[in-house]
């Protein structure tokens, strides 16, 4: 990542992702200090100071980890090309204000990118807190819930580079070398060796299991798409945590007895329940199967009973969408990386600073949000925008209002939900990774467009300062695959007294 300098390229992050993150830093500095949204306003003439290695400009670069040693500066110049002088100008002009004169790192919008801040966070962690390993961690929704409840994440693993980059950026409390990208079957031995002297208290994870929609139980268990579940079991067997928590799609209930047997085989008594996120203050109808197992003699059913007996506030879609500025669908094809005042930006100033509601207070922990991330509407053609505009909240593809222009009319018995307009006064339908293809099943209740990644993230209970990295479409994938942090935190809270 950016905070490990140029030398991280090819090891921790690709060149493209490094440049993307540096560009994000440039946008944040510009928005925060100047309040300008137009990227062209960054064009300025360089000064002679830029070409030395001393001066106030370099101190922030070192603190942030963009430059690790003097040789990095030349490499940074070569890598960034024409953008380099813009970057230096902005950093020189405002670097001291951001990184030197203002010691309040907690309110700094660049804190997640800053190596110095990340080191300070790790030093502040309590040494005797329960420890967690997160397998198939994705963007880190489950980890976020446990971290906010006071657990220490000591290792995370996923095969997807974009998800790992998002995880690393948003989890400064986790050491970079403990966030491991790779196929779990290939890094399993490495993980075990790293934790040989530090046995985790809990192993959590949600292994992808696309085959669990099939009917035959044995075929389900043996389906090659579900082999990752068995890898989760093998890592638990090696690490020997006190507790395990595994999240998966509701369809995995069909093989629950076999899963329980597999956990018993490695020394864990386990139980499961199908939990709905809406019952835990998440404004979304999201049913997932949760397995809890332990080897310390705790009754897992007791944990589930406590979890389900707690009363939680019910929040609706409008609570999640409130105080985000209205947008229009993009009208330009292949423009997902372009910012726009009408269709949104990856990073922009929050025009509703200080405005909140009870749900936003929970996910943001009462912290003002000065910037908005990933609030950008995708492209839609004229037909879809016409369909979106005609539909009323609750309408599906078979609505009479769009019958004359419905493109799937001959197959409406199959595609009844191809289009669906959400209702403000209800919880949202399940946010899924399918949104990376289109958002026609997630039409905004009041605006003729699909949900933005930020809106989807709010529905999943991610805080507003959680930045999703990577291409525009992959932000949807990461969000849809995540465990809602609020739900994860409730599980963490109940188990904590038993660890």
Hey, what are 271's tokens?
Answer: 């139980």
Pairing of strands 202-205, 269-276: unpaired
Helix (H, G, I), strand (E, B) or coil at 272: strand
How far is residue 335 from each of residues 275, 282, 331, 338, 341, measured CA to CA in Å?
Answer: 38, 32, 9, 5, 13
Helix axes 161-170, 15-34, angle to 10 degrees: 40
| 373, containing H or E segment | strand 371-376
Sequence-distant (6+) residues with CB within 8 A of 13 are: 1, 2, 21, 161, 165
Q: Kindly state the helix (H) or strand (E) to which residue 271 belongs, with its residue range.
A: strand 269-276
Measured between alpha carbons, how far is residue 415 from residues 214, 386, 407, 412, 418 in Å?
20, 18, 10, 5, 5
Q: Is 209 marked active-site?
A: yes
Q: What is the largest CA-CA distance in the chain?
A: 71
Each as own residue / partner, the long-range contacts of residues 354-361 (CB below 8 Å, 24 or more positions apart, any chain) are: 355/322, 355/323, 356/323, 357/319, 357/322, 357/323, 358/313, 358/315, 358/319, 359/281, 359/283, 359/313, 359/315, 359/319, 359/320, 360/319, 360/322, 360/323, 360/458, 360/464
The closest alpha carbon to 377, from 350, 412, 338, 411, belongs to 338
Q: In Å, what is the CA distance from 282 to each residue of 285, 312, 319, 433?
A: 8, 9, 10, 18
**Structure-derived torsion over alpha carbons of residues 331, 334, 336, 338, reported in degrees to the nearest 10:** -80
Candidate list 99, 114, 209, 439, residue with the active-site label: 209
CA–CA dist 13, 5 (Å, integer): 10
- The DSSP bridge pattern shows strands 152-158 and 202-205 to be unpaired
Three-state DSSP at 248 gives: strand
Active site residues per annotation: 209
């Amino acid at each position: 990542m950016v905070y490990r300098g140029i030398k991280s390229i090819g090891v921790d992050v690709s060149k493209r992702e490094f440049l993307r993150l540096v560009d994000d830093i440039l946008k944040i500095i510009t928005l925060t200090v100047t309040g300008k949204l137009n990227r062209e306003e960054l064009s300025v003439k360089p000064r002679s100071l830029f070409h030395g290695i001393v001066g106030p400009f370099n101190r922030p670069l070192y603190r942030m980890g963009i430059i690790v040693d003097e040789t990095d500066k030349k490499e940074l110049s070569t890598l960034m090309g024409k953008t380099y002088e813009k970057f230096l100008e902005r950093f020189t002009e405002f670097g001291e204000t951001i990184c030197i004169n203002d010691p309040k790192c907690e309110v700094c919008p660049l804190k997640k990118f800053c190596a110095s801040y990340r080191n300070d966070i790790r030093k502040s962690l309590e040494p005797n807190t329960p420890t967690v390993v997160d397998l198939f961690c994705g963007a880190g929704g489950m980890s976020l819930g446990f971290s906010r409840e006071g657990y220490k994440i000591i290792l995370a693993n996923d095969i997807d580079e974009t998800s790992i980059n998002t995880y690393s950026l948003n989890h400064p409390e986790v050491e970079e070398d403990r966030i491991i990208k790779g196929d779990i079957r290939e890094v399993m031995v490495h993980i075990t060796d790293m934790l040989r002297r530090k046995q985790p208290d809990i192993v959590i994870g949600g292994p992808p299991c696309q085959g669990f929609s099939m009917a035959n139980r044995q075929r389900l268990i043996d389906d090659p798409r579900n082999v990752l579940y068995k890898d989760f079991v093998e890592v638990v067997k090696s690490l020997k945590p006190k507790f395990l928590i595994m999240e998966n799609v509701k369809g995995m209930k069909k093989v629950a007895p076999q899963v329980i047997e597999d956990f018993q085989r490695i020394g864990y008594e386990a139980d499961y329940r199908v939990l709905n996120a809406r019952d835990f203050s998440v404004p979304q109808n999201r049913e997932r199967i949760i397995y809890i197992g332990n080897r310390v003699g705790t009754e897992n059913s007791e944990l589930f009973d406590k979890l389900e007996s707690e009363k939680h506030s019910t929040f609706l879609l409008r609570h999640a969408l409130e105080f985000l500025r209205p947008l229009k669908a993009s009208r330009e094809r292949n423009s997902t990386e372009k910012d726009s005042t009408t269709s949104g930006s990856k990073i922009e100033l929050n025009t509703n600073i200080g405005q909140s509601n009870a749900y936003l207070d929970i996910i943001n922990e009462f912290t003002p949000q000065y910037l908005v991330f990933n609030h950008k509407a995708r492209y839609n053609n004229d037909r879809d925008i016409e369909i979106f505009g005609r539909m009323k909240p609750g309408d599906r593809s078979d609505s009479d209002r769009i019958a004359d222009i419905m493109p799937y009319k001959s197959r409406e018995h199959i595609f009844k939900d191809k289009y669906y307009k959400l209702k403000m006064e209800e919880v949202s339908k399940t946010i899924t990774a399918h949104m990376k293809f289109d958002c026609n099943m997630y039409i905004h209740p009041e605006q003729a467009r699909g949900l933005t990644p930020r809106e989807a993230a709010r529905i999943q209970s991610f805080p507003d300062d959680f930045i999703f990295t990577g291409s525009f479409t992959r932000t949807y994938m990461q969000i849809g695959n995540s465990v809602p942090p609020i739900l994860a935190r409730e599980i963490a809270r109940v188990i904590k007294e038993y660890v």
